[in-house]
């Protein structure tokens, strides 16, 4: 039985509803009529630059950049270095307008409310020439009672967006000092729009989320909050807290139904007065199924419906997909420092995942399908957690719904990153509303694991020498730090204690900057010694934090992706197009530095692209395996970064078009439930097995060394006792003993862990770095089979073919594996889905290996 800390929470709000038992309750829900009428206002929009004559058609939700693009007024912002030519857009003001009619029956409702789910950012809204709203926060929803301005026909809605850059600069002038982050920190707008070290600068504006006109009389449900105050094997008690507004004292009857294979229901009635807003309902679920994250079990969700009806048979229906689970972050002082790990339903979980950034510069372009593909890629790569990074946005509901249904836990940053923010009362009030609304929107998701105040601000203030750079006086410093402290240590936790006391909160990620030894001893850490610090990949094996929430290495995107933003002659590292799609100041130099250490010089641009991906995979999986080996000292690894907002060279493992880089394939392997890894410190080779199973396993480990032509040189096997609680060394040998009978540049060690004939894990270990391997030209043979749309390729070679890369010319397919080593005399089977004919597939196959790159 797991009992959540919710118990106290329930006590705070005594159950106020009257439970109606049995069948009689059902009578109240006979034939009803919808209580709220909602009109979609997202069509027939047009826009123009303020001051221009010509109106152009607009898409809502949308952005000014995509509207200009759709009207062919600008070139593709992502192509070449067009970004530079489009900066004028951010300095202009833009206006959008539409007309709409409403049905007579709707206008007769007591309340008419315009609801804007997202306005980016400084927006003045006029309805029939009256100013009804001045918005100044992209992350908030704005509801405006507008009944007195509405008419039945030809309502005119006009929204004017003021340049956020100009406004931010004006606000900045009001401070006697410059804040790190410049004008962007004054505007509550996605901070990455101002440019990042993986993304372009497109400070856009527009109606970025849908808007509606909502009309109602008598009662309205504002918000709901579901939480389980008790979960045992036999029963789960789910409290449904409803926030209702009524015109006059009204009795509302509620029917709650929870379904997931079984059906549980409850009936209650509440008399609500205009003054009283919050009431609690209860539904009990018998023999509850728990929600588990990916890898641990099913992410069971209960479909809960709540029908609210008054005595006039007016009703409102709300639906939820609710997961029963408890999730706790433990942070206890221990002999080393302070641990940091999550417990889900009583189970200590090692978190395997990545950092999420917005999936497009122009957010409304992110479709549900795009979310689905990306999050399915997360699940396929055996991840169980994503960190939604603080320089982006609180994502759309569909993102969190998908995380719920795929079993992906979400660590949610609030939207502050790598800068200091103002502390005046209007900024703070604005942020308070933003936090409250987003917490209320997201708190009931099963996926939600943690709130985090910001990304790298504590670290920035303490380690990035802002005080010197901006020449702060002691008083300035004190004021800036106090503003920081107030926001993250007081304002945000206060809002959370009222709206979501069930989830935990940390103020900043990481806890300590990576330059300090304490960052490997307490809390979560961002380890940037590799890449920013130019330390070698091997250092990942030594510098391990308690929960490594960021680290990473760049790789170039797929050639097909590069082709999407370059002309043929620009496909080289000197072209402006390629340079503009590498936003890190020393990006290519850094890649070259590590590439020299690991690989021979690639012979051409295309080979460089491919090798950069292998290098990235090598680096990041070195870290992942070291972190997993350090379990339970380390209890989580989230690499930087999962995805891209545009096609570019970056730390991502899947590129803007969703094409998996070598890293994503490698991560999938390194995040499997069982992973074999090699610790080769001090001349001893130790074979570790890390298991994320929930119980102990006894299996057989076989080891053999082979040369590159397939000759077996040595074999051994052992019984491996694999603990679920910690990584286990299952085999140890002196490296010299192992290599005395072989040429380490022409041989590898193959390891396999098996239980009852089932392979749990496999690992190929090379004694030398790729640049020192003496590879022969592989003679790769392949045959193709096609059964309906399932294509299978069988590959073999008489000598080792390292890092085979498979592709289909001018065709988009996803291979079951890629960038893999084809071992001598073994047949590798790769599959993919395609509607091409057998002959077409054969003609289009592209196949190369590392040997071809030098
Ligand atoms: C991390 C992130 C980002 C940045 C990345 C790579 O610290 O928080 O700010 O893009 O490093 O430099």
pLDDT tens, position by position, 258-280? 999 999 999 999 999 998 889 99
Check residues 105 and 55 and name the one with the higher pLDDT. 55
pLDDT of 315-348, one tens digit each?
999 999 999 999 999 999 999 999 999 999 999 9
pLDDT of 527-545, one tens digit each?
999 999 999 999 999 999 9
Euclidean distance between CA atoms 111 and 145, whole angstroms: 7
Select from 519, 771, 811, 556 the least CA-distant residue to 661.
556
Q: pLDDT at residue 2 above 50?
A: no
Gap from CA of 162 to ligand 1 centroid (Å): 29
Point out the ligand 1 atom lying closest to the alpha carbon of residue 196: 10
Euclidean distance between CA atoms 632 and 186, whole angstroms: 41
Q: Six-digit token pair at 583? A: 């936003």
- Top mutation candidate among 199, 534, 640, 641 for ligand 1, by most atoms within 8 Å of CB: 640
Point out the ligand 1 atom lying closest to the alpha carbon of residue 197: 10
Which pLDDT value is given to residue 33? 62
Q: Three-state SS for 141?
A: coil
- Top mutation candidate among 192, 411, 456 for ligand 1, by most atoms within 8 Å of CB: 456
Which pLDDT value is given to residue 36? 74
Q: How far is CA 144 from the centre of its chain?
A: 32
Which pLDDT value is given to residue 818? 98
CB of 852 shorter than 6 A to ligand 1: no
> What percent of the chain clears pLDDT 90, i.e. is strictly above it?
91
Section 585-592 average pLDDT:
98
Task: Give the contacts of 678 (CB within 8 A, at least 6 positions apart).
Answer: 685, 686, 687, 688, 749, 763, 765
Q: Six-digit token pair at 316? A: 């409102």
Gap from CA of 634 to ligand 1 centroid (Å): 21
Section 586-602 average pLDDT:
98
CB of 508 shorter than 6 A to ligand 1: no
Strand partners, 411: 387, 450
Are the beta carbons of 470 and 481 closer than 8 angstroms? no
H-assigned helices in 1-63? 6-12
Look at strands 341-344 and 327-330 and give their pairing: antiparallel
Task: Give the contacts of 52 (CB within 8 A, at least 6 positions apart).
Answer: none
Which pLDDT value is given to residue 4? 39
Which pLDDT value is given to residue 31? 54
**pTM for this predicted structure:** 0.96
Which pLDDT value is given to residue 35? 66
pLDDT of 361-403, one tens digit each?
999 999 999 999 999 999 999 999 999 999 999 999 999 999 9
Q: Six-digit token pair at 51? A: 């001051």
Which pLDDT value is given to residue 5? 36
Q: Give the position of tokens 């603990």.
A: 723
Gap from CA of 198 to ligand 1 centroid (Å): 8
Check residues 31 and 170 and name the one with the higher pLDDT. 170
Gap from CA of 355 to ligand 1 centroid (Å): 10
Section 623-643 average pLDDT:
98
Section 287-313 average pLDDT:
96
pLDDT of 684-694, one tens digit each?
999 999 999 99
Q: Six-digit token pair at 356? A: 């999420």
Select from 652, 651, 678, 653 the least CA-distant residue to 664.
653
Task: Give the contacts of 273 (CB within 8 A, at least 6 positions apart).
Answer: 246, 249
CB of 197 shorter than 6 A to ligand 1: yes
Which pLDDT value is given to residue 671? 98
Are the beta carbons of 415 and 191 closer than 8 angstroms? yes
| 1 confidence band (pLDDT: 50, 70, 90) | very low
CB of 550 shorter than 6 A to ligand 1: yes
pLDDT of 91-127, one tens digit each?
999 999 999 999 887 888 899 999 999 999 999 999 9
Section 728-740 average pLDDT:
94
Section 153-179 average pLDDT:
97
Euclidean distance between CA atoms 656 and 652, whole angstroms: 9
Closest Cα to atom 8 of ligand 1: 455
Strand partners, 270: 252
Q: Give the position of tokens 């289009």.
A: 844
Which pLDDT value is given to residue 32? 59
Instruction: Report cis status (omega within 30 of 0) of the bond before 61.
Output: yes
The b/e string for 266-279 (b: 16+ C-beta within 10 A; e otherwise) is bbbbbebeeeeeeb
Residue 740's Cβ-count burial label (10 Å; 0-12, 13-18, 19+) is exposed
Residue 286's Cβ-count burial label (10 Å; 0-12, 13-18, 19+) is exposed
Strand partners, 690: 675
Euclidean distance between CA atoms 461 and 590, whole angstroms: 25
Closest Cα to atom 6 of ligand 1: 197
> What percent of the chain clears pLDDT 70, i.e. is strictly above it?
96
End-to-end CA distance of the chain: give it in Å, rounded: 60
Are the beta carbons of 338 and 483 closer than 8 angstroms? no
- Would you tell me how many other CB atoms lie within 10 Å of the CB of residue 619? 24
pLDDT of 14-30, one tens digit each?
454 444 443 333 444 44
DSSP conformational letter for 488:
I
DSSP conformational letter for 555:
B
Q: What does pLDDT average to over the chain?
A: 94
- Would you tell me how many other CB atoms lie within 10 Å of the CB of residue 716? 12
DSSP conformational letter for 490:
I
CB of 526 shorter than 6 A to ligand 1: yes
Which pLDDT value is given to residue 244? 94
Euclidean distance between CA atoms 177 and 745, whole angstroms: 59
Instruction: Give the containing element (helix H, strand E) for 209.
Output: strand 206-216
pLDDT of 830-845, one tens digit each?
999 999 999 999 999 9
- Would you tell me how many other CB atoms lie within 10 Å of the CB of residue 712? 10
Task: Give the contacts of 393 (CB within 8 A, at least 6 positions apart).
Answer: 138, 139, 190, 358, 363, 415
Which pLDDT value is given to residue 106? 81
One of 162, 183, 456, 706 is an active-site residue; which one? 456
Select from 329, 374, 376, 335 the least CA-distant residue to 356.
374
Euclidean distance between CA atoms 185 and 547, whole angstroms: 28
The b/e string for 403-434 (b: 16+ C-beta within 10 A; e otherwise) is bbbbbbbbbbbbbbbbbbbbbeeebbebbebb
Gap from CA of 79 to ligand 1 centroid (Å): 24
Q: Is 456 a catalytic residue?
A: yes
Q: pLDDT at residue 175 above 80?
A: yes
Closest Cα to atom 9 of ligand 1: 418
Give the chain's radius of gyration (CA, Å). Answer: 29
Q: Give φ, ψ of 119 to 5 degrees.
A: -120, 125
Task: Give the contacts of 778 (CB within 8 A, at least 6 positions apart).
Answer: 797, 798, 799, 800, 801, 822, 849, 851
């Amino acid at each position: 039985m797991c009992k959540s800390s919710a118990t106290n929470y329930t006590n705070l709000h005594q159950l106020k509803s009257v439970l109606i038992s049995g069948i009689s309750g059902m009578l109240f829900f006979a034939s009803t009529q919808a209580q709220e009428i909602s009109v979609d206002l997202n069509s027939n929009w047009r826009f123009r630059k303020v001051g221009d004559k010509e109106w152009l058609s607009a898409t809502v939700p949308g952005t000014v950049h995509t509207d200009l693009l759709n009207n062919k007024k600008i070139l593709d912002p992502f192509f070449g270095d067009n970004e530079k030519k489009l900066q004028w857009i951010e300095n202009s003001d833009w206006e959008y307008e539409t007309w709409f009619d409403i049905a007579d029956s709707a206008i007769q409702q007591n309340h008419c409310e315009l609801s804007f789910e997202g306005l980016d950012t400084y927006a003045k809204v006029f309805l029939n020439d009256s100013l009804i709203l001045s918005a100044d926060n992209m992350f908030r929803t704005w509801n405006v009672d507008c009944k007195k301005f509405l008419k039945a026909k030809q309502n005119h809605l006009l929204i004017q967006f003021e340049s956020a850059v100009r406004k931010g600069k004006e606000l900045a002038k009001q401070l006697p000092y410059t804040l790190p982050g410049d004008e962007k920190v004054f505007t509550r707008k996605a901070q990455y729009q101002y440019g990042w070290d993986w993304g372009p600068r497109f400070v856009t504006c527009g109606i970025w989320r849908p808007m509606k006109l909502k009309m109602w009389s008598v009662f309205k449900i504002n918000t709901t909050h579901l939480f389980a105050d008790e979960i045992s094997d036999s029963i789960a008690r789910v409290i449904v807290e409803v926030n209702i507004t009524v015109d006059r004292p009204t009795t509302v009857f509620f029917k709650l139904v929870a379904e997931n294979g079984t059906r549980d229901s409850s009936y209650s009635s509440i008399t609500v007065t205009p003054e009283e807003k919050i009431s609690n309902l209860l539904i009990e679920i018998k023999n509850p199924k728990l929600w588990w994250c990916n890898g641990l079990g099913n992410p069971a969700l209960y479909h809960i419906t709540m029908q609210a009806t008054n005595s006039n048979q007016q009703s409102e229906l709300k639906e939820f997909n609710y997961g029963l689970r408890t999730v706790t972050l433990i942070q206890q002082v221990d002999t080393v420092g302070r641990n940091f790990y999550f417990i889900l339903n009583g189970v200590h979980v090692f978190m395997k995942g990545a950092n999420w950034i917005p999936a497009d510069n122009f957010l409304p372009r992110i479709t549900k399908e795009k979310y689905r593909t990306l999050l399915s890629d997360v699940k396929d790569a055996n991840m169980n957690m994503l960190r939604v990074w603080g320089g982006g946005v609180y994502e759309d509901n569909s993102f969190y719904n998908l995380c719920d249904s795929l079993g992906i836990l979400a660590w949610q940053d609030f939207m502050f990153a790598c800068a200091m923010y103002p502390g005046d009362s209007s900024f703070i009030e604005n942020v308070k509303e933003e936090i409250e609304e987003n917490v209320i929107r997201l708190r009931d998701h099963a996926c939600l694991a943690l709130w985090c105040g910001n990304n790298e601000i504590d670290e920035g203030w303490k380690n990035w020498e802002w005080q010197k750079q901006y020449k702060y006086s002691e008083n300035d410093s004190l004021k800036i730090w106090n503003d920081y402290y107030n926001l993250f240590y007081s304002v945000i936790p206060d809002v959370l204690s009222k709206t979501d006391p069930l989830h935990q909160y940390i103020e900043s990620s990481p806890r300590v900057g990576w330059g300090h030894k304490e960052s490997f001893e307490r809390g979560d850490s961002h380890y940037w010694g590799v890449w920013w610090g130019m330390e070698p990949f091997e250092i990942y094996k030594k510098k391990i934090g308690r929960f490594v929430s960021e680290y990473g290495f760049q790789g170039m995107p797929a050639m097909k992706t590069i082709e999407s933003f370059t002309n043929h002659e620009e496909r080289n590292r000197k072209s402006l197009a390629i340079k503009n799609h590498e936003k890190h100041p020393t990006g290519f130099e850094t890649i070259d530095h590590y590439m020299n250490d690991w690989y021979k010089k690639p012979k051409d641009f295309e080979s460089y692209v491919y090798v950069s991906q292998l290098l990235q995979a090598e680096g990041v999986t070195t870290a992942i395996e070291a972190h997993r080996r350090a379990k339970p000292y380390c209890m989580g690894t989230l690499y930087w970064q999962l995805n891209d907002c545009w096609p570019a060279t970056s730390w991502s493992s899947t590129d803007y078009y969703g094409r998996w880089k070598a890293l994503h394939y490698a991560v999938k392997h390194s995040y499997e439930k069982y992973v074999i890894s090699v610790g080769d410190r001090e001349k001893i080779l130790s074979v570790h097995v890390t298991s994320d199973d929930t119980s102990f396993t006894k299996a057989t480990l076989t080891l053999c060394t082979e040369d590159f032509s397939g000759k077996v040189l040595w074999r051994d096997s052992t019984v491996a006792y694999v603990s679920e609680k910690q990584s286990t060394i299952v085999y140890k040998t002196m490296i010299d003993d192992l290599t005395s009978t072989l040429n380490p540049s022409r041989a590898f060690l193959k390891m396999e862990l098996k239980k009852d004939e089932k392979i749990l894990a496999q690992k190929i270990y090379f004694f030398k770095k790729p640049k020192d391997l003496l590879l022969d030209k592989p003679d790769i043979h392949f045959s193709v089979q096609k059964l309906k749309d399932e294509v299978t390729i069988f590959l073999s070679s008489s000598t080792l073919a390292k890092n085979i890369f498979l592709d289909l010319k001018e065709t988009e397919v996803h291979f079951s594996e890629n960038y893999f080593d084809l071992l001598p005399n073994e047949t590798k089977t790769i599959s993919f889905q395609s509607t091409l004919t057998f002959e077409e597939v054969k003609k289009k196959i592209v196949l190369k290996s590392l040997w071809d790159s030098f």
